[in-house]
Amino acid sequence: MKNFKRIKYFTYHGCLERGKRRDNSPAADTKIDYIISVLNRMGYGVDLISRASSAEPYFLHSSVKSVGENSIRYFSSFGKMSSPLRILNRLWMELQFFFWCLTNIKRNEQIIVYHSLGYDSAFLKLCRLKSIRIIGEIEEIYQDVSKQTETRCRNEYKFIDVCEKYIFPTQLLDQKVNKFHKPSLVVHGVYAIESIIEKKFSDGKIHVVYGGTLDPNKGGAFAAAAAAEFLPANYHVHICGFGDPAKIKTIVDEIQTKSKAKVTFEGELKGNDYKHFIQKCNIGLSTQDPSAAFNSTSFPSKILVYLANGLKVVSIRIPAIEQSAVVDRLVFYDKQTPEKIAEAILSASKDNTCGNEILKKLDNKFSEELSNLLDQ
């Protein structure tokens, strides 16, 4: 039997198991799962430690579950509750987490931390107490996405600075925050080609899908829905997303009244349900607001998910994507208007090839670079 080395990976990984659900970000969990699979291939067993809160209306006890050579640990959490009680729950989880780390992380141990504002303060303290060696997985700068308190803004950059090594989604983010040129690598997202198990919709229409956050600050879902007004009747635009659905439902209903193409909100699809759905579609959309600060350094992981599942991809043209390894596989539009998005969709419809063969090469390259990073 293979003798696996062990590494701890700190995240907010969710849980979809009925009755034990934890809050999650589908895009983050997908990338975390991919990195774990690569670590397993390299001979590492991964101990995943998650501070994700209960997504149930009741208290969840702490738990540890083994999955093959890996394990996942959750801390006890009160159920969904009003704002004042949410603060108490956050403090309770912070205490559990901090004392677990004090007793279970060894001095000078190398760990991976998926950067989150909720972790910054704890790891700054732990670094002073235990001199731990952090590989920071920095996907975005949160204060670029939404307004944060002055303390959180300060701690975010302090945490990034104490990391010994980095995993970034783009070279641009590396250039922005890796001031001292510490060891790093870039992985845009999941470099894995999915098995195609679903046939395309057979209603004679071209099916276009947006999958991702419904956050108005990022704007992608609203831009995707608005494009339907400028598409002909043989197109169907699907919006799948997580977050508050009230506003997008209103927008979809309004656009449908003046659109020849069909536009529908499919709700939040997760895991295999999401994968099976998008495999039925022809084109995937990456339509976030290009003027948002976070877009100067972050890479939309949905692009790779679409490619992996055999879709043609339409994307806004921004530097982080233009400088990526998959740039030649995408159809771009240059102006964030419904008309320009629709034009790009029509252009993408003329070519049925998705260009996902590059993902295998990127997967091998990432595996080699991650091995080197861990050994440095």
In this prediction, residue 168 has a pLDDT band, given cuts at 50, 70 and 90, of very high
Model confidence over 4-13: pLDDT tens digits? 899 999 999 9
Share of the chain above pLDDT 70, in %: 99
Task: Tell whether 274 is covered by a domain.
Answer: yes
Same domain for 180 and 212?
no
Per-residue pLDDT, 172: 92
Task: Tell whether 156 is covered by a domain.
Answer: yes
Same domain for 174 and 260?
no
Lowest mean pLDDT across 1-10, 126-135, 221-230: 1-10
How many structural domains does the chain have?
A: 2
Per-residue pLDDT, 297: 84
Task: Tell whether 198 is covered by a domain.
Answer: no
Same domain for 70 and 164?
yes
The answer to whether residue 1 scores a pLDDT higher than 50 is: no
pTM of the model: 0.86
Query: The domain spanning residue 62 has which CATH number?
Result: 3.40.50.2000
Same domain for 102 and 48?
yes
Same domain for 15 and 128?
yes
Task: Tell whether 200 is covered by a domain.
Answer: no
Distance of CA 59 to the CA centre of its chain: 27
The answer to whether residue 254 scores a pLDDT higher than 60 is: yes
Per-residue pLDDT, 162: 96
Same domain for 143 and 243?
no
> How far apart, in whole angstroms, are the C-alpha atoms of residue 32 and residue 13?
8
Q: Do the beta carbons of residue 341 and residue 224 sit within 8 Å?
A: yes
Task: Tell whether 33 is covered by a domain.
Answer: yes
Task: Tell whether 359 is covered by a domain.
Answer: no
Same domain for 296 and 270?
yes
Q: Which structural domain range is residue 121 located in?
A: 5-191+365-375
Same domain for 215 and 326?
yes
Per-residue pLDDT, 82: 67
Task: Tell whether 197 is covered by a domain.
Answer: no
Task: Tell whether 199 is covered by a domain.
Answer: no
